């Protein structure tokens, strides 16, 4: 029997010195909390938004990392200071301040930097605020008056999904709002997980977060294509035509499949990866650290293969989900899930077996509660994917096949944002490649539609429920360090050539053209030219090919932001308008859509502004941002919970190594497969490969006797 | 301990009546062989090229299938005749005939159709011809004279890879040729699997297959970028600067990795799929038949989900691999691996464990040897992939997560064409989607390059070995039957809209525009418009959404053929110049590049000619062909054996079902994962989901006491 253990990576004891990249410990979180409470004094209430590690300045960290990797680390090695960055509200003190930030040196407990974020920016939303929203609605006279207009069926109660407000209208004097999407839940089963999304209600209450009051009720159109922008076409018995849409097994109403036999992924000797000291991961020549922030979720740092530097940092930077239904106020359905709320905050507690197979460990993520105390969640999981064929070759003359399986190490976290789920995974393989994968699942956002109608703005996935068309646009931030920090980004294309007697007489030649990126710019995908982005080190040459070492990726030509360039949606999401952004490294410049996305009117200090600086990026410390998306026009198969949609960014070495780095992976006979009697084994336990059964290509003897045809 | 069994699907006994789609049995192959030998008489020698099932005419087969699916099959049901199609040479009889074809009725043994293929077409190459080629070279004075010009190192012998000739030059009177790529193998280790590709030789012997003689030696350029089209820059000691490039473990020269722990995929209760009667596969509501032909390899037929028709037939239709090195004669490196040789013929014998994990069965493929006798190979494998998350939703209020894993059924075969391997897989998932996946691996094609030089036409992956730039362009043939044979193809795009007060006041709206394909045409990919191809049934409407049922795919905008439109490469491969072709069904029209690709001068009766017929395809029996490719400019990491490059066509239901068809898949706790002490399980064995540990989003209590901040 397999004896896999799932173990928690132990939190650091107070006696060991943290690595500069280790996430905060519970104790450090507490230190920061206490410092801030002391600083602000006992006459004010502090509501914490976040406390997390303030990553060191790059120059300081690189110095430390160099010493670490060269084995010269000692007690004399200068260490970047351990600093916690806290974001919090000083309740009811200064209305010109959106929120306050303090940087606390964790050795001294001193505040080393302070910022009062001005009111025209809005703080991200916190779990506390999400939690409180529904209750505020239920207590509001304005809300109740609106709800009373509807004749809800017996046994149904209203439930409110909290959302960020989206882009305010031009002339709107907008305090910090939240908006609520309303649905009704059938309580008659007594099951709290009955799916309320089947019963959408056409109102959106607006909360002023400062006053704690519902200040407005937005009305939603429920018409069909014949109704244009018209409102009020619905009846009071607004849900009578709707249908249940359960997904939890006991309410499903149909039996579960019974013909699925057990399939187990087992590692009888334990996993091949090693996790130490909270954050250090080692596996198959890879060595890197895993970070975690409330905004980004899991991040990778100091990623090296066989001791060589590949990436300084890799992260999900931002995502936006604009809706394409033009009927107001749906233009305000445009969340920035990282900036508005925080992927780290929204990350699921991962449980054994369901999300990842095989041997599982998990990283503990430390985050602050509203009172600043630390809570520990098991949000990030490393595990191994069995993979499929890594490489194979059969010598047709001898019939000998050598084949290896490609395993991948997966660092995964899953976030839930009300109705939607996103599964994020960093995948590293044995051939030196890194992938970032995003998967969308969960429940599509629906609004009420009158019975019998259809709409050009979405699909009726359930009677009375219109799943609106929308996009999901993601941005990954790649901070490369290809054999060092000074890199050059090159755009490479494969282009047709004219026929010519001197150069291309038969017309089959094609040109591979490289264009270096000299100043910061954006680049769009162009797969029809095989446009590839190479991140090179122009000072390091591959000794075999003579070319600069590099890593590369092919940007997918997915659809970019559809919203009109003059729309507030486009102004808020400049990042979503091009596939690749190349910028010069700047400490703290982590967020493609800018630092403040919640309720923004435009993108500020995101990649668009960074590129506008026109920095020289050739042979410099560059950052490459990759944007890709999914235009999601829902189908009925996406209901009630959608099958995953998968997107992958694949970053692979290109003349970085002198040969396939996985050439030394043993060919593996899978020990769990039993041979049928008489069949030859193709691999033995030591990894040596025996001669395979005769390949069909060997054929029979050459000459045939015409008389016997033998 | 797991007790997986790998079993062969038993060949049909003589007493059972074959299904019209069952591949030929050994006995049927023998019947055809005997008929032909009798027909042609004993004075001639017959060299068989292929004997395979001639698939029934669609109208006849559909009649039979309808009866089968409606349960009304009886001994009176008209059955399409069982016919074997044989291709063979009548040796030395008629030089105006390329080869001969006979269709043999397997009941009567009669020849029911006969065709003498005219000489201006060329037969595909057979394994026998591949096998004989090297020996013919070694015995040729012309070849030996050329080889003697080189001073090969001690202990090296020459080895010749047989290739199809490629496109003849315009004025070439071209008999049926083959060309040979020459390399030298180091015999000093005594190991026959020493990698000869590391030592390329700059000659190509040309064989006249009719006379059996080497008639010409083509000389290859070995210069660098400074040498243009110049030949003869190399020295006689042509291999002295080359380096070994072993990949088999015992010759590797470096130790294999030892830190990879066992990872097993086990199915203790056996597989969930069921294979019966040679070709029928049932799994998770899918039901379909697997066919096999010497040209296409594995094919899928009569694919249904939960009893509803989805596809009539699915297959790999053609692929071409044009090289982009303009120096003659490299313009003749352009194989059509299906038409020139045959994917079925080149298919690997698959062995346990190495190529596929878990419980493995395999299909026996029956093919004819040169004497017409049947040989049986285990070339096609169905197996199950463990998959990852299928769908997930966590109710943030209660913390309850429901998650299912998505398993896939994989029908896989692998082909080796001299240096390259391709892994083809049909994958079916539980949510009604079908994917066709191709993976390229194996050894890149290299030619000799002078020491110290580099070339714009490829990459030096090993000293003296230039891996030439090239493309791999594939075509998949989709013969849909979406709830029936009369389908309409629709091109759907998501397009921006102007801002307007009446329709789109805030500019967030976007239009989903559908354009039906009325006459046969090609369509290119355009992901920036989210261009999607939907194959619909305009007579069947989804009762929930009101839209016609359909299946859809997004054609990838991969790079199409780079060769100049006037080049012979482009004329031979019209199919490779557009991403999607929509044609009207025609019996026997299976091959995108035309029936005769070997040494063709242009594509004849491929998709381009089919489209030119301008048939009405609206609400008709349509066929959809999808083309995608990889432009492969080799990197050093592709050497000596390249890590797999993966391409996938994903065909998914779109308003075909009324909800997610996988909603009834039980949430699965992976039984091989052991819980750490104290952690709660999220799933139990019955599939019911218990409450997960509290999700972080629940937060803590709402109000904070300013005095205690608690």
* Predicted confidence (pLDDT) at residue B271 exceeds the cutoff of 50: yes
Binary contact (B345, A696; C-beta < 8 A): yes
Going by their DSSP bridges, the two strands A7-8 and A361-368 should be labelled as: parallel
Q: What residue in B sits closest to A373 (Cα-Cα)?
A: B710
Given a cut of 50, the residues of chain A with pLDDT beneath it are 1-14, 353, 670-710
CA distances from B392 to A429, A641, A645 (A): 26, 7, 12
Q: Å from B55 to nearest chain A CA? A: 23
CA B382 to chain centre: 15
Query: Dihedrals φ, ψ of B195, to 5°?
Result: -80, 105
First to last CA, chain B: 54
Please tell me whether residue A337 adopts helix, strand or coil conformation. Answer: helix
Interface test with A, best of B404, B510, B679 (most A CBs within 10 A): B510
Question: Where, residue-wise, is CATH 2.70.98.20 in chain A?
Answer: 280-360+372-382+408-498+509-654
Q: What is the mean pLDDT of residues B43-53?
A: 91
B2 vs A contacts (CB less than 8 Å): 672, 674
A249 vs B contacts (CB less than 8 Å): 402, 666-667, 687-689
Q: What residue in B sits closest to A260 (Cα-Cα)?
A: B272
Going by their DSSP bridges, the two strands B177-186 and B156-164 should be labelled as: antiparallel
* Cβ partners under 8 Å of residue A427, min gap 6: A385, A408, A409, A410, A411, A434, A435, A436, A437
Contact A536, A549 (CB under 8 A): yes
A466 vs B contacts (CB less than 8 Å): none
**What is the pLDDT, as a whole number, of residue B651?**
98
User: For residue B422, which of B527, B326, B348 has the smallest C-alpha distance?
Assistant: B348
Cis peptide before B329 (omega within 30 of 0): yes
Instruction: Encode pLDDT of A578-615 as tens digits.
Output: 999 999 999 999 999 999 999 999 999 999 999 999 99
Binary contact (A401, B348; C-beta < 8 A): yes
- Alpha helix (H) ranges present in A71-203? 127-138, 141-147
Rounded Cα distance between B226 and A217, Å, is 74
Structure tokens at B257: 């990795």
Binary contact (A254, B633; C-beta < 8 A): no
Binary contact (B679, A6; C-beta < 8 A): yes
What does CATH list as the number for B280-360+372-382+408-498+509-654? 2.70.98.20
Q: Is B244 exposed, middle or buried (0-12, 13-18, 19+ CB in 10 A)?
A: middle
Rounded Cα distance between A680 and B351, Å, is 8
Binary contact (B128, A46; C-beta < 8 A): no
Active site residues of A: 337, 420
Contact A557, B556 (CB under 8 A): no
Q: What is the dihedral of CA A222, A225, A229, A233, to 10 degrees?
A: -40
Q: Å from A245 to nearest chain B CA? A: 9
DSSP code string of B234-287: S-SSTTTT------SGGGSSSPPP------EEE-TT--S-EEETTTEEEETTEE
Identity of the residue in A505, A546, A695 whose CB atom sits nearest the CB atom of B328: A505
* Cβ partners under 8 Å of residue B244, min gap 6: B186, B194, B195, B198, B251, B253
* Cβ partners under 8 Å of residue B170, min gap 6: B568
Contact A642, B652 (CB under 8 A): no
In the DSSP assignment, the letter for residue B339 is I
Contact B620, B582 (CB under 8 A): no
Place of tokens 């233009």: A331
Please tell me whether residue A124 adopts helix, strand or coil conformation. Answer: coil
Tell me the count of A-B CB pairs closer than 8 A: 714
Binary contact (A637, B502; C-beta < 8 A): no
Cis peptide before B262 (omega within 30 of 0): no
3-state SS track over A373-418:
CEEEEEEEEEEEECCCEEEEEECCCCCCEEEEECCEEEEEEEEEEC
Instruction: Encode pLDDT of B394-420 as tens digits.
Output: 787 887 888 888 888 999 988 888 899
Identity of the residue in B418, B461, B469 whose CB atom sits nearest the CB atom of A544: B461
Question: Where, residue-wise, is CATH 3.10.450.40 in chain A?
Answer: 26-116, 127-251
Contact B340, A514 (CB under 8 A): no
Q: Which residue has the higher pLDDT, A248 or B585?
A: B585
Q: Give one word for A452, left, alpha or beta, with left for phi > 0 and alpha for psi -120 to 50.
A: left
A295 vs B contacts (CB less than 8 Å): none
Binary contact (A7, B676; C-beta < 8 A): yes
Rounded Cα distance between B573 and B601, Å, is 10
Sign of the C-alpha dihedral, residues A253, A258, A260, A265?
positive
Binary contact (B667, A322; C-beta < 8 A): no
Q: What residue in B sits closest to A247 (Cα-Cα)?
A: B663
**What is the pLDDT, as a whole number, of residue B477?**
98
Averaged pLDDT of chain B: 87
Rounded Cα distance between B444 and B462, Å, is 11
Contact A245, A194 (CB under 8 A): no
Structure tokens at B427: 């994958």
Structure tokens at B607: 């998709």
For chain B, percent of residues with pLDDT exceeding 90: 69
Rounded Cα distance between B306 and B286, Å, is 6
Q: Å from B698 to nearest chain A CA? A: 7
Tell me the helices (H) and strands (E) count for chain B, helix number first: 6, 35
The CB density around residue A145, as the number of other CB atoms within 10 Å, is 10
Point out the catalytic residue in the list B54, B325, B337, B621. B337
First to last CA, chain A: 54
Sign of the C-alpha dihedral, residues B268, B269, B273, B274?
positive
Point out the catalytic residue in the list B362, B420, B422, B585. B420
* Cβ partners under 8 Å of residue A421, min gap 6: A348, A414, A415, A440, A441, A442, B392, B393, B394
Contact A533, A552 (CB under 8 A): yes
| CA-derived radius of gyration, chain B | 28
**What is the pLDDT, as a whole number, of residue B417?**
87
Contact B528, A561 (CB under 8 A): no
Rounded Cα distance between A324 and A315, Å, is 28
Q: What residue in A sits closest to B36 (Cα-Cα)?
A: A709
Q: What is the mean pLDDT of residues B71-97?
A: 88
Rounded Cα distance between B358 and B380, Å, is 15
CA distances from A479 to A211, A315, A585, A622 (A): 41, 9, 8, 7
Instruction: Encode pLDDT of A366-388 as tens digits.
Output: 888 888 888 887 777 777 776 67
Structure tokens at A312: 């300084």
Instruction: Encode pLDDT of B367-392 as tens digits.
Output: 888 888 888 877 777 777 766 777 88
Q: Is B290 exposed, middle or buried (0-12, 13-18, 19+ CB in 10 A)?
A: buried
B359 vs A contacts (CB less than 8 Å): 673
Q: Å from A76 to nearest chain B CA? A: 34
Q: Å from A299 to nearest chain B CA? A: 19
Rounded Cα distance between A429 and A477, Å, is 20
Q: Å from B256 to nearest chain A CA? A: 5
- A26-116 CATH fold: Nuclear Transport Factor 2; Chain: A, (3.10.450)
Tell me the ipTM for this assembly. Answer: 0.91
Place of tokens 């790059």: A58
B286 vs A contacts (CB less than 8 Å): none
Structure tokens at B167: 């496109």
Instruction: Encode pLDDT of B614-655 as tens digits.
Output: 999 999 999 999 999 999 999 999 999 999 999 999 999 999
**What is the pLDDT, as a whole number, of residue B262?**
80
Binary contact (A562, B495; C-beta < 8 A): yes
Q: How many residues are recorded in chain A?
A: 710
Identity of the residue in A262, A347, A669 whose CB atom sits nearest the CB atom of B353: A669
Interface test with A, best of B263, B363, B547 (most A CBs within 10 A): B263
Q: What residue in B sits closest to A325 (Cα-Cα)?
A: B509
Instruction: Encode pLDDT of B308-339 as tens digits.
Output: 999 999 999 999 999 999 999 999 999 999 99
User: For residue A674, which of B382, B379, B6 has the smallest C-alpha distance?
Assistant: B6
Q: What residue in B sits closest to A9 (Cα-Cα)?
A: B676
In the DSSP assignment, the letter for residue B699 is -
Q: What is the mean pLDDT of residues B71-98?
A: 88
Binary contact (A431, B637; C-beta < 8 A): yes
Contact A581, A574 (CB under 8 A): no
Rounded Cα distance between B108 and B130, Å, is 35
Identity of the residue in B6, B673, B700 whose CB atom sits nearest the CB atom of A360: B673
Q: Å from B353 to nearest chain A CA? A: 4
A567 vs B contacts (CB less than 8 Å): 499, 506-508
**What is the pLDDT, as a whole number, of residue B703?**
30
Binary contact (A272, B260; C-beta < 8 A): yes
Contact B288, B302 (CB under 8 A): yes
Q: How many residues are recorded in chain B?
A: 710
In the DSSP assignment, the letter for residue A330 is G
Instruction: State the CATH architecture for B127-251.
Output: Roll (3.10)
């Amino acid at each position: 029997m397999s004896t896999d253990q799932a173990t928690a990576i132990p939190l650091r004891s107070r006696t060991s010195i943290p690595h500069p990249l280790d996430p905060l410990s519970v104790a450090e979180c507490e230190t920061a909390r206490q410092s801030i409470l002391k600083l602000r004094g006992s006459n004010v209430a502090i509501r914490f938004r976040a406390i997390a590690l303030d990553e060191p300045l790059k120059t300081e960290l690189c110095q430390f990392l160099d010493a670490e990797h060269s084995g010269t680390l000692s007690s004399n090695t200068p260490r970047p200071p351990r600093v916690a960055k806290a974001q919090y509200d000083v309740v009811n003190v200064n209305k010109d301040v959106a929120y306050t930030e303090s940087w606390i040196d964790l050795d001294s407990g001193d505040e080393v930097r302070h910022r009062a974020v001005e009111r025209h920016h809005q703080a991200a939303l916190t779990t506390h605020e999400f939690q409180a929203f529904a209750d505020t609605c239920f207590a509001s006279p304005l809300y109740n008056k609106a709800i009373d207009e509807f004749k809800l069926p017996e046994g149904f109660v209203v439930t409110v999904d909290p959302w960020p407000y989206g882009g305010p209208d031009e002339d709107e004097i907008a305090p910090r709002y939240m908006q609520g999407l309303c649905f009704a839940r059938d309580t008659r089963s007594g099951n709290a997980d009955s799916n309320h999304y089947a019963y959408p209600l056409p109102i959106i209450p607006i909360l002023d977060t400062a006053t704690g009051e519902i200040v407005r009720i937005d009305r939603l159109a429920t018409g069909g294509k014949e109704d244009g922008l018209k409102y009020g076409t619905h009846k009071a018995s607004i849900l009578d035509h709707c249908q249940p849409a359960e997904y939890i097994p006991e309410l499903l109403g149909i039996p579960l499949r019974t013909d699925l036999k057990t399939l187990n992924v087992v590692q009888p000797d334990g996993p091949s990866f090693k996790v130490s000291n909270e954050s250090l991961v080692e596996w198959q020549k890879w060595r890197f650290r895993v970070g975690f922030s409330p905004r980004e979720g899991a991040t990778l740092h100091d990623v090296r293969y066989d001791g060589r530097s590949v990436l300084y940092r890799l992260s999900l930077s931002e995502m936006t989900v604009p809706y394409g239904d033009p009927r107001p106020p749906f233009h305000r359905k445009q969340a920035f899930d990282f900036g508005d709320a925080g992927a780290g905050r929204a990350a699921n507690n991962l449980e054994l077996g369901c999300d990842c197979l095989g041997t599982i460990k998990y990283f503990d993520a430390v985050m602050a509660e509203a009172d600043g105390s630390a809570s520990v969640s098991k949000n990030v999981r490393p595990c191994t994917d069995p993979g499929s064929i890594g490489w194979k070759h059969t010598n047709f003359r001898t019939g000998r096949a050598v084949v290896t399986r490609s395993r991948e190490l997966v660092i995964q976290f899953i976030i839930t944002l009300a109705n939607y789920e996103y599964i994020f995974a960093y995948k590293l393989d044995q051939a030196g490649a890194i992938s970032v994968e995003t998967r969308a699942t969960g429940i599509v956002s629906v609004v009420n539609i009158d019975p019998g109608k259809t709409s050009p703005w979405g699909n009726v996935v359930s009677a009375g429920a219109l799943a609106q068309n929308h996009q999901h646009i993601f941005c990954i931030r790649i901070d490369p360090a290809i054999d060092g920090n000074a890199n050059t980004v090159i755009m490479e294309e494969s282009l047709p050539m004219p026929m010519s007697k001197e150069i291309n007489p038969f017309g089959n030649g094609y040109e591979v053209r490289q264009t270096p990126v000299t100043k910061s710019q954006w680049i769009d995908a162009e797969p029809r030219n095989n446009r590839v982005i190479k991140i090179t080190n122009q000072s390091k040459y591959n000794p075999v090919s003579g070319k600069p070492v590099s890593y590369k990726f092919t940007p997918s030509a997915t659809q970019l932001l559809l919203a009109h360039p003059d729309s507030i949606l486009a102004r808020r999401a400049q990042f979503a308008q091009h596939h690749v952004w190349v910028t010069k490294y700047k400490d703290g410049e982590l967020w493609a859509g800018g630092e403040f996305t919640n309720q923004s009117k435009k993108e500020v200090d995101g990649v668009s502004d960074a590129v506008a600086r026109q920095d020289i990026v050739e042979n410099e410390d560059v950052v490459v941002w990759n944007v890709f998306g999914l235009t999601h026009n829902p189908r009925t198969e996406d209901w009630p919970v959608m099958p995953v949609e998968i997107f992958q960014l694949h970053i692979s070495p290109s003349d970085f190594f002198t040969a396939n780095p996985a050439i030394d992976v043993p060919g593996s006979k899978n020990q769990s497969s039993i041979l049928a009697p008489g069949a030859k084994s193709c691999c033995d336990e030591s990894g040596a490969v025996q001669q395979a059964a005769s390949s069909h290509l060997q054929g029979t003897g050459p000459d045939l006797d015409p008389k016997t045809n033998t």
